C-alpha cells in the first residue's frame, strides 16, 4: 500500500472526506458506491463495480430478485429452462 501524505479526521457521524485529487484519479463520482473491506487493522475502500453473480460480467446488467445478472446469463438461463421443460 502506498501512503500519499493526506490525513483526514473522522467527523462525529463517522464520515471522512475523500480528497478531490483521489476521487479524480480513481474516477469516483458523487453517488458512486464504495465497498468497504477490513484486513486486520486496515480499512480498504474500493469503488463498487457491480457484476453478474453467475459469470462476473460487468456489462448489460439487470436486477433479478435482488441479484445482479447479465443479459448473456439471462439468455443462457432461458435456453436451459426451455430445454429442461422439453425433457
Tell me the average pLDDT across 21-31: 92
* Strand extents, DSSP E, 1-87: 34-39, 42-47, 61-64, 67-70
Q: Which three cell numbers stand for residue 23?
A: 476521487
Task: Give the up-direction half-sphere exposure of residue 76: CA atoms within 13 A in the CB hemisphere.
Answer: 7
Name the class of domain 1-49.
mainly beta
Q: What is the pTM of this model?
A: 0.58
* Cα–Cα distance measured from residue 21 to residue 35, given in angstroms and rounded to the nearest whole number: 19
A 10 A CB-CB count for 44 gives 10
pLDDT at residue 8 above 80?
yes
Ranges in the chain annotated CATH 2.10.260.10 = 1-49
What pLDDT score does 38 carry?
96
Quick: pLDDT tens for 36-49: 999 999 999 999 88
Amino acid at each position: 500500500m502506498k501512503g500519499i501524505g493526506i490525513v483526514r479526521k473522522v467527523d462525529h457521524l463517522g464520515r471522512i472526506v475523500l480528497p478531490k485529487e483521489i476521487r479524480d484519479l480513481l474516477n469516483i463520482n458523487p453517488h458512486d458506491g464504495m465497498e468497504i473491506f477490513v484486513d486486520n487493522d486496515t480499512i480498504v475502500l474500493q469503488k463498487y463495480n457491480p457484476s453478474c453473480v453467475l459469470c462476473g460480467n460487468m456489462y448489460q446488467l439487470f436486477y433479478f430478485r435482488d441479484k445482479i445478472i447479465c443479459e448473456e446469463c439471462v439468455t443462457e438461463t432461458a435456453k436451459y429452462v426451455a430445454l429442461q421443460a422439453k425433457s
